[in-house]
Amino acid sequence: MENRRASTENEIIKVALKVFTEKGYKGATMRDIAKAAKVNLAMLNYYFRSKENLFDIIFEKSFLLIYEKLMGAFSSKKPLFEKISAFSNAYIDTFIDNPAIPNFIFNEITHNPAHLANKIKDNQPIMEMINTFQQQIDEEVEAGTIKPVNSFELLLNLLALSVFPFIAKPMLKEVFGFSDLNFGALLERRKTSVARFVINAIKL
């Protein structure tokens, strides 16, 4: 059954993302992944040929998800403050639905920065979107309609405020004793509060 096969593959990809994230590429064993996905070890190689190929598939999927959501939120011609809201909302929303992805991506950034960087650099629409956003900021600073800020730093700050809570989540939950429910509520609030914070920081 083609459907059966596809659903088994998707199940493996889903749990493998989690195992790779929690243990790192080398730390995650094919035995771990097989056990978590409740399939035989040999089946993993039957479906995915190799550990590296399985990892690449997951990386590709994760990148595509982020890419599509962000292009939708960020690309159109909107006023600056609306873009800031749309960006943080899209980012936070995507990661609420896919909580393993931020740490998965950050592992990869740390251990193989060129991999993701090249995918971004080689992607013209992304680079244009970033340039347009920075130009928009520079123009508003020039026109005196927002406080003077470095446009790259503002982009960095927006990204930091949106992403950081997800990568720090495992520890924040332990230290401050958040339940899943409470931490989820915090993240929901941030879909609006991050943009409010950033806009307050730069508006006159």
Partner DNA sequence: GTCTATAGCGGGATAGAC
Partner DNA sequence: GTCTATCCCGCTATAGAC
Interacting residue ranges for a second copy, rule: CB under 8 A = 21-27, 103, 106-107, 109-111, 113-114, 116-118, 120-121, 147, 149-150, 152-153, 156-157, 159-161, 163-165, 167-168, 170-176, 186, 189-190, 193, 197-198, 200-202
Q: Which does 42 bind (CB under 5 to 8 A by kind): a second copy, DNA, none?
A: DNA
Note the residue count of the chain: 204
Encoded one letter per residue, x for contact with DNA by CB under 7 A and - for no contact, window 3-22 reads: -xx--x--------------
Is 87 in contact with 141 (CB distance < 8 Å)? no
Choice from 7, 10, 42, 201 touching DNA (CB under 7 A): 42
Which of 174, 192, 23 is closest to 104 using CA atoms?
23
H-assigned helices in 29-112: 30-37, 41-48, 51-74, 80-97, 101-111
Amino acid at 48: F
Position 57 contacts DNA (CB under 7 A):
no
Residue 111 as a binder of DNA (CB under 7 A): the answer is: no
Q: Which is nearer to DNA, 28 or 146 (CB)?
A: 28
5 binds, among DNA, a second copy, none (CB under 5 to 8 A by kind): DNA
Binding to DNA by residue 50, rule CB under 7 A? yes
Looking up tokens 């593959």 gives 9
Distance, CA of 12 to CA of 38 (rounded, Å): 9
Closer to a second copy by Cβ: residue 67 or 197: 197
CB 31 within 8 A of CB 16: no
> Residue 40 binds which one of a second copy, DNA, none, with CB within 5 to 8 A depending on kind?
DNA
Q: How far apart are CA 33 and CA 20, in angstroms?
A: 8
